[in-house]
Amino acid sequence: MREDVIYSFKGLYRDAFRVKGYVFGEGEKTACIVGSLRGNEYQQVYVCSLLIKKLKELEEYGKVSKDKSIMIVPCGNPYSMNIKKRFWSIDNTDINRMFPGYEKGETTQRIAAGIFEQIKDYKYGIQFASFYMPGHFVPQVRIMKTGNENIEMAKAFGLPFVVVHNPRPFDTATLNYNWQIWDTEAFSIYTSSTEKIDKKSAKTGVNAVLNFLAKEGVIDYEITEGCVSKVIESDKFISIRTTNAGFMKPLVQAGDVVIKGQVMAYVTNPYTGEVIQTVTASTDGIIAFEYDSPIVYQNTAAFKLIPLS
Amino acid sequence: MKELLESIEDVVRLSLPVDERFVITKHRFMADRKKRQKRICIVTGIHGDELEGQYVCYELSRRIREQVDSLNGIVDIYPAMNPFGIDSITRGIPAFDLDMNRIFPGNLDGDMNEYLAYKIIEELEGADLVIDIHASNIFLTEVPQIRINELNADVLVPIAKKANMDLIWVHGASTVLESTLAYSLNSKGTKTLVVEMGVGMRITEEYGNQLADGIFSLMKELGIWTGAVPDMKEAIVAYDADGDDVCYLNAPCSGIYMKEKKHGSVVEKGELVGKIINPLSGDVIAEIKAPEKGMIFTVREYPVVEEGSLMGRILKEKVILENQV
């Protein structure tokens, strides 16, 4: 294992800003795995740490394929993580809205450009991503529809779902989108959490990446039993929304199967405890996303369902 | 003096979780109750830390009330599109960490913010002109200017020239900007100008008055105002779609930026614009010099910089000369 500083600059009163990459094997730039780009993505860093540990072991046993190299970038934004801020410390910009970056631009554009320069030539790009709303996902691999997407390859992760996503304008500045545009086979892996470490789903994420690397011949590794992935377009998800604001008490969780009419949650008046909405399933489905915050706003997607039909 | 029809109306009203309503409001001025009247919409506060538009909203109301007889249409004023942001000194939408100007045109069936964006577009669509007032951010001061996407330059530049601004900056198209209020409205055929002036978290009364004059000039062009308006400034127009008209000054290192030039200054090539100092060591760690002759139209106000921070923008002399021709 080699530890490289792939981007850095000096701070005024803080230690230098450093982005590190951990490299395994030598030769062709084959697979790059990126963890957190935001300061609250603790789970994403944790998953990378598990992968680094495992790949170090595999490398020591000579199980990284000849002429292939893997790089893991556990955290693209340690400055924000150390001050518990989601976005960039000074101007609140989002590094994952700055790709492919601009080396002569503003700070986060430069960071994105500096990271991208080091990771853009890999054959496979895998990012552990997070959603902007607090909640839990059923483990899934997401792939953006740019015309370069490789849906069949995404099944190699052995996760229950491959979600194909039509990019919106702001998605065009994400790492995943730009990796694809630069001819990297790009995938985003969603494990179930972001701000809290969930060991079980972290393990699922690690196994998914190891399975993928083994199937693509990057490592010699005994593939664990995965799922036959169901492919679904993200706009086929059915949002179950709150019609009232208040406290939400969920009765089901991500991964559960629900039937049409099943009570999924209650929204209550925070002062009186009176139930002001009974949230029910509009169709039979699997819960792909479960909102996780005590308070909900009107129109909040409390759940996202993958229809069973 | 004729009667002025005024009303404060809800654009959106939603319940919040704990005993509060979320409301976006507008102040409507109408000359009369005729059905077909021209309408101008003045929008501000999409970014909660940009306050320059607050004074403009007040000043427009004050002047309309002073000359009721000159009003000949509808003026709708929306001072706070992001009331949570203004209340909490937050640029984006607090609780969601979203930039409100990246979620348009919104979605009627989407979450609360997408719904708000949809309702705002629905509200503004069909107006004869929309002016979306921004104020840079807390880091930079901007000379009063209108920014126009190159896709709409043919239609919007002639209108913007009547707005009493110092600069009209036609910039290149970008996919990311397709989520802005102005892009969404312009793509639906509702002409929308984006004003940038002053600095975040502050109000520059002089700029507010300059823009208020410009808005009355635009209202006169539309036939919404019949009163006298002062002579308008002749704005410099920079057709910068290829990014060749403007020099960007980005910090080469982290430190404290001390500006040497005010915005609006004309600088020679190589002239000192500012310096970056290190208060710990007591050293000047970088001297920032103008890469070309031109006018400084953006100046850094917030002194702390890190590598890459924008410290200023210079409009190249060639653009100024082209405008003089």
Please list the rounded mean pLDDT of every run of 10 residues in chain B (325 residues).
91 96 97 91 97 98 97 98 96 91 94 96 98 95 96 97 97 88 98 97 97 98 97 95 91 97 94 97 98 96 96 95 87
Contact in structure between A43 and A198 (CB atoms under 8 Å): yes
Where do you find CATH 2.40.50.100 in chain A?
A: 237-307
A295 to B102: CB separation less than 8 angstroms, yes or no: no
Nearest to B254 among A11, A169, A270 (CB): A11
pLDDT value of position A153:
96
| B14 contacts on A by Cβ (under 8 Å) | 245, 297-299
Token pair belonging to B114:
């997408």
Q: Exposed, middle or buried: residue B208 (CB in 10 Å: 0-12, 13-18, 19+)? A: buried
Which CATH number, 3.40.190.10, 3.30.450.20, 3.40.920.10, 3.40.630.10, labels domain A2-233? 3.40.630.10
Q: Could you give the angle at which helices A199-215 and A42-60 cross, rounded to 10 degrees?
A: 50
CA B141 vs CA B154, B198, B232, B239, B292: distances in Å: 28, 5, 22, 21, 20
Beta-carbon contacts below 8 Å between A and B: 99
User: A272 Cβ partners below 8 Å, 6+ apart?
Assistant: none
| B137 contacts on A by Cβ (under 8 Å) | 91
Condensed to tens digits (0 to 9), the pLDDT of residues A36-93 reads: 999 999 999 999 999 999 999 999 999 999 999 999 999 999 999 999 999 999 999 9
Nearest partner of A222 among A213, A231, A230, judged by Cα:
A213
Question: How long, in residues, is chain B?
Answer: 325
Which percentage of chain A shows pLDDT scores above 90? 93
Closest residue of chain B to A105, computed from CA coordinates:
B308
Where do you find CATH 3.40.630.10 in chain A?
A: 2-233
Closest residue of chain A to B97, computed from CA coordinates:
A132
The residue among B177, B253, B307 with the most chain A CBs within 10 A of its CB, best to mutate, is: B307
A247 to B17: CB separation less than 8 angstroms, yes or no: yes
Residue A309 has pLDDT above 90, yes or no: no
Report ipTM (2 d.p.).
Answer: 0.90
Domain A237-307 fold: OB fold (Dihydrolipoamide Acetyltransferase, E2P) (2.40.50)
CA A34 to chain centre: 9
Domain B5-240 fold: Aminopeptidase (3.40.630)
Nearest to A107 among B14, B98, B307 (CB): B307
Which CATH number, 2.40.50.100, 3.30.1280.10, 3.40.640.10, 3.10.310.50, labels domain B246-324? 2.40.50.100
d(CA B214, CA B164): 5
Domain ranges of chain B: 5-240, 246-324
Q: Tell me B20's DSSP state.
A: -
Radius of gyration of chain B (CA): 21
Backbone angles phi, psi at B24, to 5 degrees: -110, 125
Condensed to tens digits (0 to 9), the pLDDT of residues B172-189 reads: 888 888 999 999 999 999
The residue among A19, A38, A84, A91 with the most chain B CBs within 10 A of its CB, best to mutate, is: A91
